[in-house]
Amino acid sequence: MADSNPHRPDDRVDAPEHDARAGRDNGGSGSDRNNRNSRGAREATNVGAAPAPGRGPRRRRPRTRTVAVTALAVIAVLVAALVVRQPAPVGHFTSGPAKTEFAAAYRAAMAELPEPDTVHDLRTDYGIVRAYHFDGPAEGDPLLLLPGRAAASPVWADNLPSLLRHRDVYTMDLLGEPGMSVQDRPITGDADQARWLHQAVRALPEERVHLLGLSIGGWTAVNLAMREPAGIGGVALVDPVYVLDGMPLETVARSVPAAVPWLPRSWRESFNSYTAGGAPADDSAVGVLIEAGMRTYALRLPQPGRIPEERLAGLRPPVMVLIAGESVMHDPATAEATARRALPEDRVKVYPDASHAINGEYPEEIAADVAAFLDEVE
What are the residue ranges of helices labelled H in 204-263? 216-227, 249-258
* 51-377: CATH, from 3.40.50.150, 3.40.640.10, 3.40.50.1820, 1.10.565.10: 3.40.50.1820
Helix (H) or strand (E) holding 80: helix 64-82
Query: What is the structure's pLDDT at 159?
Result: 98
Cis peptide before 16 (omega within 30 of 0): yes
| The model's pTM | 0.79
The pLDDT value given to residue 219: 98
Low-confidence ranges of the chain (pLDDT < 70): 1-88, 251-282
Q: Which amino acid is at 39?
A: R
Nearest to 360 by CA among 156, 116, 147, 167: 156
Of 161, 132, 136, the C-alpha closest to 145 is 132
pLDDT (0 to 100) of residue 14:
42
Compute the distance between CA of residue 338 and CA of residue 355 in angstroms, rounded to an integer.
19
Output the CA angle 332-304-248, nearest 5 degrees.
30
The residues spanned by each domain of the chain are 51-377
What's residue 204's pLDDT?
98
Quick one: which of 346, 341, 304, 313 has its CA closest to 226? 313
Which distant-in-sequence residues (6+ apart) come within 8 Å of 206 by Cβ? 141, 142
**Residues 26-46: b if buried by 16+ CB within 10 A, e if exposed:** eeebebeebeeeeeebbbbbb
Contact status, residue 320 vs residue 373, Cβ threshold 8 Å? yes
pLDDT number for residue 357: 87
pLDDT at 174: 98
Give the Cα separation of 205 and 312 in Å (integer). Answer: 28
Q: Is 217 within 8 Å of 307 (Cβ atoms)?
A: no
